[in-house]
């Protein structure tokens, strides 16, 4: 029997708790979270705001009651204040709690940019049930909104607001939308905005926000950028990303990695004995580059929570988590945008460090046999190394067309370090309603092969 204390109730913490208990029902498992709910699907919030998820409570995947039924104690609104590694003890809400194993699933905090009046009324962040409710309520009393940041959350919220009749202004410091895709993909996403939103959505890139103006009641009035542009709207949402919550951990002697997240080994162990970390507070490792990386996503958190629990709970066996591919997918109107592994741009950066010659092939092709009704085009870009032929990454965008099918397939290829030669004979199932007889993946691989031979 062990006493396992878990700090954090997001995807990683919830998974770590349930897994720790299941592995050995004699374990005492306690979960402490600073939030007032646990196991919330944060990625569902934009769909609640949009209205396609009709009840926000559906985003609460498990309640404290569910955990109680598993024999796990959940403490809501409990703040971690300090860790005493020497004593195997944590300070939470003023109380000392001892542990045999500690699992830190501290999550991430929304990045609050350094802007004058950032804490004005009607400036929102989105990272909880309460904030989701508040934004949806505000939306119904508003005609316009500014989104500060044009990443995934920005894109998803923009669609939600447009569908609810608002005018949307996106202000982004970087030079384009979805800047972790290659530039040509940012351009394709921009084309979707133009075709779907007309003048309802305005986008401003390369604009660094510096000041918020407020009215006499400290309500948001406008956003001013470095170039002295001023944008007016009824409210503003910060879609500026999130950063690992590591303050207390670092203060207590837990080592952070170069990404600023908690450094863990492949068993999710921190530098301190009996302390594990998992989820959005931890540093990741990129399978392709073998370098540290950071990306806070529920799917990764879930896997890490499971691995941390196995390693914290079992004395003999262990489980390894080998890293991520930075795979993402998002819906934007009836388009799907997805990527896995390295973009061409990332591969070029990486090639400054290692002996790599990035090449890429971009194809646009129908998603079904050309003679079938309701075909749609998808664009697929695959990146590879000219020298070894190794596949390095892929990006895809398409209207309805099955983008997820292709990107998911390439995740396996990346995991296995398949080469172009191996990819181009992949036996993908084919029938006219599902693909063209030469799948877009194979077409891209053929194009890469041509470049390798040159």
Shortest distance, CB of residue 256 to its own copies, whole angstroms? Answer: 23
| Residue 451 tokens, joined | 């470049």
Reading phi first (left if > 0) and then psi (alpha if -120 to 50, else beta), residue 389 is in: left
Site for its own copies in 143-172 (CB under 8 A): none
429 Cβ neighbours under 8 A, 6+ residues apart = 435
Compose the 409-448 pattern: x for residues touching its own copies by CB under 8 A, - for all others.
xxxxx-xxxx--xxxxxxxxxxxxxxx-xxx--x------
| Residue 396 tokens, joined | 């895809």
Nearer to its own copies, 225 or 402 (CB): 402
Among 135, 249, 407, 444, binds its own copies (CB under 8 A): 407
Under the binding rule (CB under 8 A), the answer on residue 365 touching its own copies is no
Cα separation, 393 vs 384, whole angstroms: 7
Residues facing residue 360 across a β-bridge: 383
Nearer to its own copies, 247 or 433 (CB): 433
Alpha helices in 256-343 (DSSP H): 298-313
Cα separation, 380 vs 82, whole angstroms: 48
Beta carbons of 60 and 39 less than 8 angstroms apart: yes
Among 44, 132, 151, 401, binds its own copies (CB under 8 A): 44
Q: Nearest Cα to 209, choosing from 115, 296, 281?
A: 115
Among 94, 114, 228, 371, binds its own copies (CB under 8 A): 371
Shortest distance, CB of residue 419 to its own copies, whole angstroms? Answer: 10
Beta carbons of 233 and 248 less than 8 angstroms apart: no
Shortest distance, CB of residue 374 to its own copies, whole angstroms? Answer: 9
Shortest distance, CB of residue 354 to its own copies, whole angstroms? Answer: 21
Under the binding rule (CB under 8 A), the answer on residue 298 touching its own copies is yes
Site for its own copies in 236-295 (CB under 8 A): 287
Nearer to its own copies, 36 or 57 (CB): 57
Residues facing residue 393 across a β-bridge: 341, 383
Nearer to its own copies, 140 or 371 (CB): 371
Q: Please identify, among the stretches 30-38, 90-98, 107-115, 297-305, the one whose residues bind its own copies according to the rule CB under 8 A.
A: 297-305
Q: What is the DSSP string of 76-140?
A: TT--EEEEEGGGTEEEETTEEEE-SEEEE---EEE-----BTTT-BTEE--SSHHHHHHHHHHHH
Q: Please identify, among the stretches 41-49, 117-125, 137-145, 380-388, the one whose residues bind its own copies according to the rule CB under 8 A.
A: 41-49
Q: Please identify, among the stretches 47-55, 96-104, 115-123, 159-167, the one whose residues bind its own copies according to the rule CB under 8 A.
A: 47-55
Under the binding rule (CB under 8 A), the answer on residue 71 touching its own copies is no
Nearer to its own copies, 48 or 235 (CB): 48
Under the binding rule (CB under 8 A), the answer on residue 322 touching its own copies is yes
Q: How many CB atoms within 10 Å of residue 316?
A: 4
Nearer to its own copies, 265 or 322 (CB): 322
Among 264, 300, 308, 309, binds its own copies (CB under 8 A): 300
| Residue 335 tokens, joined | 């388009």
DSSP run (H or E) holding 426: none
Alpha helices in 164-242 (DSSP H): 183-197
Among 24, 25, 36, 52, binds its own copies (CB under 8 A): 52
Q: Please identify, among the stretches 37-45, 125-133, 268-276, 358-366, the one whose residues bind its own copies according to the rule CB under 8 A.
A: 37-45
Nearer to its own copies, 110 or 403 (CB): 403
CA angle 138, 144, 149 (to 5 degrees): 90
């Amino acid at each position: 029997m062990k006493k396992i204390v878990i700090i954090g109730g997001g995807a990683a913490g919830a998974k770590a708790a349930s897994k720790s208990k299941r592995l050995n029902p004699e374990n005492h498992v306690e979960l402490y979270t600073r939030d007032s709910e646990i196991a919330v699907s944060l990625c569902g919030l934009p769909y609640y705001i949009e209205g396609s998820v009709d009840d926000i409570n559906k985003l609460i995947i498990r309640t404290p009651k569910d955990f109680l039924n598993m024999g796990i104690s959940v403490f809501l609104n409990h703040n971690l204040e300090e860790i005493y590694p020497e004593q195997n003890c944590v300070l939470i809400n003023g109380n000392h709690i001892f542990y045999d194993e500690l699992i830190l699933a501290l999550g991430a905090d929304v990045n609050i940019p350094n802007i004058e009046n950032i804490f004005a009324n009607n400036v929102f962040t989105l990272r909880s049930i309460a904030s989701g409710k508040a934004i949806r309520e505000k939306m119904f009393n508003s005609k316009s909104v500014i989104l500060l940041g044009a990443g995934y959350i920005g894109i998803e919220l923009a669609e939600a607001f447009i569908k609810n009749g608002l005018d949307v202004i996106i202000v982004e410091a970087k030079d384009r939308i979805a800047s972790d895709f290659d530039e040509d993909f940012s351009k394709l996403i921009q084309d979707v905005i133009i075709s779907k939103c007309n003048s309802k959505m305005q986008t401003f890139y390369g604009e660094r926000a510096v000041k918020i103006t407020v009215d006499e009641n400290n309500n948001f009035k406008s956003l001013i950028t470095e170039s002295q542009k001023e944008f007016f709207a009824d409210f503003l949402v910060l879609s500026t990303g999130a950063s690992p919550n590591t303050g207390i951990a670092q203060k207590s002697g837990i080592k952070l990695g170069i990404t600023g997240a908690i450094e863990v080994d492949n068993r999710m162990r921190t530098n301190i004995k009996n302390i594990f970390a998992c989820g959005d507070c931890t540093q990741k490792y990129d399978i392709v580059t073998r370098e540290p990386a950071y990306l806070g996503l529920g799917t990764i958190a879930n896997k890490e929570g499971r691995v941390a629990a196995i390693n914290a709970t079992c004395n003999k066996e262990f489980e390894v988590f080998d890293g991520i591919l930075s795979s993402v997918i998002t819906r934007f109107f009836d388009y799907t945008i997805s990527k896995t592994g390295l973009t061409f741009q990332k591969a070029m950066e990486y090639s400054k460090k290692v002996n790599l010659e990035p090449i890429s092939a971009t194809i646009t092709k129908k998603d079904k046999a050309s003679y079938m009704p309701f075909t749609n085009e998808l664009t697929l870009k695959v990146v590879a190394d000219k020298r070894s032929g190794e596949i390095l990454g892929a990006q895809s965008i398409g209207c309805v067309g099955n983008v997820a099918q292709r990107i998911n397939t390439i995740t396996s290829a990346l995991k296995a370090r398949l080469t172009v030669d191996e990819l181009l004979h992949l036996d993908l199932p084919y029938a006219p309603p599902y693909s063209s007889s030469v799948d877009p993946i194979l077409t891209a691989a053929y194009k890469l092969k041509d470049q390798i031979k040159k």
